[in-house]
Structure 1
Amino acid sequence: MPSEQSIEQKIKSELPQVYNVIVTDISAGCGQSFDVVVVSNEFESKNKLQRSRLINKILKEDIAQIHAFSCKCYTEAEWSKIVI
């Protein structure tokens, strides 16, 4: 069963230039729904769909085991405008 830590580690190990990964179990700890934010300059020149597909490919096995998955992907520049 995927966990916040296992999802975070998989993204960090397989995605170059990771600046930040925030994984939140939104299923009250039962591991069935996750909200993920990934910040990486690997997303430069990629649209939202391409970014999501990249993360979905990395987490393909994990996503198959859970009920719901949401991912938001930002470059460092985009992230810096959101988080002050």
Structure 2
Amino acid sequence: MLTQQDLQNKLIAQIPDLHNVIITDTSNGCGQSFDIVVVSNTFQGKNKLQRCRLVNNALKEEVAQIHAFSCKCFTMEEWSKVVA
């Protein structure tokens, strides 16, 4: 079973300039459905599809093991406007 910590550790290792990661297990703890927010300036100049592909590639093995996966990707500037 995958945990939020497993996903976070993999993202920290794979996504450069990672500022923040918010992982929510939406399967009530059974590790089969996750919503992820990734904040990194690596996403600068990339569209939404390119950003999600970076995250999906980083979590390729993990995503294959779960039922549902959603990610939202922001630069630090974009994130500061979301949380303001």
CA distance in 1, matches of 2:20, 2:76: 9
**Aligned equivalent of 1:70:** 70
CA distance in 2, matches of 1:3, 1:59: 13
Displacement of 1:14 = 1.0
**Aligned equivalent of 1:58:** 58
CA distance in 1, matches of 2:24, 2:5: 10
Could you tell me the TM-score, scaled by structure 1's length? Answer: 0.98
CA distance in 2, matches of 1:2, 1:43: 25
CA distance in 1, matches of 2:58, 2:81: 26
**Aligned equivalent of 1:30:** 30
Could you tell me the TM-score, scaled by structure 2's length? Answer: 0.98
Displacement of 1:13 = 1.0
- Secondary structure at the residue paired with 1:2? coil
RMSD in angstroms over aligned alpha carbons? 0.5
Count of paired positions? 84
Query: Which stretches of structure 1, 4 residues or more, deviate above 6 A after TM superposition?
Result: none
Corresponding position: 1:80 with 2:80: yes
* Percent of aligned pairs with the same amino acid: 61
CA distance in 2, matches of 1:23, 1:29: 12
Structure 2: where are the runs of 5+ without partners? none
CA distance in 2, matches of 1:18, 1:59: 15
